[in-house]
A and B are shown apart, each in its own frame.
Chain A
Amino acid sequence: MGFRLGAEEVVVNGPKVAFKIFGLNVTETVILSWVVMAVIIGLVLFMTHNMSKDHPSKKQIVAEWIVETVNGMVRDAMGAKNLVYAPYMATIFSFSIFGSLISVLGLRPVTGDFSVTLTWALMTFFMIQYAKIKNDGVLGYIVGFSKPIALLTPINIISELATPVSMSIRHFGNVASGIVITQLLYFALTSLSRGLGMEAFPVFTIGVPAVLSVYFDLFTGFMQAFIFTMLTMANVGAAYPEEEQTAG
């Protein structure tokens, strides 16, 4: 993807292909996702190491707070019978937020790759379908598409497919726009430095991007992780509601 600024073109690339294995591309995204995984797994193992029932350490209190919070959110959004989804929600949330926050270190955010958010959205999509089949039975699931009237069947199918598309594009778009704007800003600031005769040392690239990074990396990263997780919870929870809610 290229932007033309005056006589020069700024190129914003997709993820770099590091190597290939069995014909599959192992991209920058995948390698960074391994880093993110290592960080999360390390944190999890650190927090849950040597846990004590009676005298919890600070890290154990943090671990308990995380688990209790996620359990509470899942219970509120999906009902107590869907509590099994809590670890998955924690996985998606932590993977997403660390995958976005990695850009603070100047690395390419994992969530800035459409393949990643599409993968997660497809997982959500299949979870929704599974929950619907579990709730209505196979026949009820198929018949469910022609409700309330048969005329709406195509629209129901489209809206079902729209869920993963909108979720994945929303998350990708927000993070990717951060990448693009940051690159454009770097280019602009470098040009400004060059214009003032400081080509060897582009002074404006220090400090100024950090302010934008607070919004694009921290705020957007957190917001999108939260939105993606909440949407997953809401959609899967709605597909497999509590009995009282079905009756009411």
Chain B
Amino acid sequence: MEFLSFLSIDYGTIILVLINTLILFLVIKHFLFGRVNAIIESRQADVSKTYEEADKSMTHAKELEANYNELLASAKDESAEIVKKATKKAQDRSDEIISSAKAEASGIITRANEDIEREKQRAMSEMKNEISGIAMMMAEKIIKKEINQKDHEALINDFIENVGDEVWQQK
């Protein structure tokens, strides 16, 4: 059996160990570091993707919130508009009712005044006739003579005509 000396430099060993080390290096580089780094990188990619998605969701949620706020504001505006419109309509309607009621009332009042006027006229002409009758009778009695009714009627009527108007009312 051949032994090398305890402290020796052997070229065969150096070359073969160099080759062995290189082979082991390639295996470790490719199978250990290559595979594990790939896994770690893909995991990191996953994590960053998840973060990205979360950010995206956050942005989307904020957008939705803004939209919602906008909608809410516009709904408020709209409802205010509706209330305003309804109020105006009610106002118009009430104005209309009031004005028609006023017109009706004034019509009623006018008619009533006309009635009153008519009644007054009638009463006045009745009174005139009566007064002229009474005056005739009184004159007949006072002057104790036949009066030509035909001659004096015009005179008396003229007097009564005047009596019924301003002269009487001034008294």
Main secondary structure on chain A at its contact with chain B?
helix
Contact across chains for B2 and A47 when beta carbons are under 8 A apart: no
Question: Which residues A96-123 have CB closer than 8 A to chain B?
Answer: 113-116, 118-120, 122-123
Tell me if A51 is interfacial: C-beta within 8 Å of chain B: yes
Contact across chains for A33 and B32 when beta carbons are under 8 A apart: no
Contact across chains for B17 and A116 when beta carbons are under 8 A apart: yes
Tell me if A166 is interfacial: C-beta within 8 Å of chain B: no
Q: Across the interface, name the chain B residue whose C-beta is closest to A66.
A: B32
> What residues of chain A lie closer than 8 Å to B20, measured between beta carbons?
30, 33-34, 37, 95
Question: Which residues A30-50 have CB closer than 8 A to chain B?
Answer: 30, 33-34, 37, 40-41, 44-45, 47-48
Contacts A41-B24, A44-B27, A113-B13: A119 and B18 contacting too (C-beta < 8 A)?
yes
Query: How far does the alpha carbon of A246 sit from the alpha carbon of B40 in the complex, in Å?
Result: 31
Query: How far does the alpha carbon of A118 sit from the alpha carbon of B14 in the complex, in Å?
Result: 8
Tell me if A200 is interfacial: C-beta within 8 Å of chain B: no
Stretch at the interface among B4-12, B118-126, B131-139: B4-12
> What residues of chain B lie closer than 8 Å to A79, measured between beta carbons?
none
Contact across chains for B13 and A29 when beta carbons are under 8 A apart: yes
Query: How far does the alpha carbon of A63 sit from the alpha carbon of B37 in the complex, in Å?
Result: 10
> What residues of chain B lie closer than 8 Å to A245, measured between beta carbons?
none
A contacts with B, residue count (CB < 8 A): 53
> What residues of chain B lie closer than 8 Å to A95, measured between beta carbons?
20-21, 24
Q: Across the interface, name the chain A residue whose C-beta is closest to B37.
A: A67
> What residues of chain B lie closer than 8 Å to A88, measured between beta carbons?
25, 29
Q: B3, B4, B18, B40 — which one has the most chain A CB atoms within 10 A of its CB?
A: B4
Query: How far does the alpha carbon of A49 sit from the alpha carbon of B2 in the complex, in Å?
Result: 42
> What residues of chain A lie closer than 8 Å to B42, measured between beta carbons?
53
Contact across chains for A30 and B12 when beta carbons are under 8 A apart: yes
Query: How far does the alpha carbon of A21 sit from the alpha carbon of B13 in the complex, in Å?
Result: 11
Query: How far does the alpha carbon of A120 sit from the alpha carbon of B14 in the complex, in Å?
Result: 9
Contact across chains for B12 and A91 when beta carbons are under 8 A apart: no
Tell me if A140 is interfacial: C-beta within 8 Å of chain B: no
> What residues of chain A lie closer than 8 Å to B25, measured between beta carbons?
87-88, 91
Contacts A15-B3, A63-B32, A64-B39: A120 and B13 contacting too (C-beta < 8 A)?
no
Contacts A25-B13, A115-B10, A116-B17: A64 and B36 contacting too (C-beta < 8 A)?
yes
Tell me if B31 is interfacial: C-beta within 8 Å of chain A: yes
Query: How far does the alpha carbon of A94 sit from the alpha carbon of B32 in the complex, in Å?
Result: 12
- Within the complex, which residue of B8, B16, B28, B37 is in contact with A44, where a contact is CB–CB below 8 Å? B28
- Within the complex, which residue of A30, A48, A94 is in contact with B13, where a contact is CB–CB below 8 Å? A30
- Within the complex, which residue of B4, B28, B35, B36 is in contact with A25, where a contact is CB–CB below 8 Å? B4
Q: A21, A41, A119 — which one has the most chain B CB atoms within 10 A of its CB?
A: A119
Query: How far does the alpha carbon of A47 sit from the alpha carbon of B28 in the complex, in Å?
Result: 11
Contact across chains for A67 and B32 when beta carbons are under 8 A apart: yes
Contact across chains for B35 and A115 when beta carbons are under 8 A apart: no
Contacts A30-B20, A33-B17, A41-B27: A51 and B10 contacting too (C-beta < 8 A)?
no
Tell me if A17 is interfacial: C-beta within 8 Å of chain B: yes
Tell me if B143 is interfacial: C-beta within 8 Å of chain A: no
Q: Across the interface, name the chain B residue whose C-beta is closest to A52.
A: B39
Q: Across the interface, name the chain A residue whose C-beta is closest to B8.
A: A14
Residue positions of A touching B, CB distance < 8 A: 1, 12-17, 20-21, 23-27, 29-30, 33-34, 37, 40-41, 44-45, 47-48, 51, 53, 56, 60, 63-64, 66-68, 86-88, 90-92, 94-95, 113-116, 118-120, 122-123, 172, 176
Shortest 9 CB-CB contacts between residues of A and residues of B: A24-B12, A115-B13, A87-B29, A14-B4, A25-B12, A1-B6, A67-B36, A13-B3, A91-B25
Residue positions of B touching A, CB distance < 8 A: 1-18, 20-21, 23-25, 27-29, 31-33, 35-37, 39-40, 42-43, 46
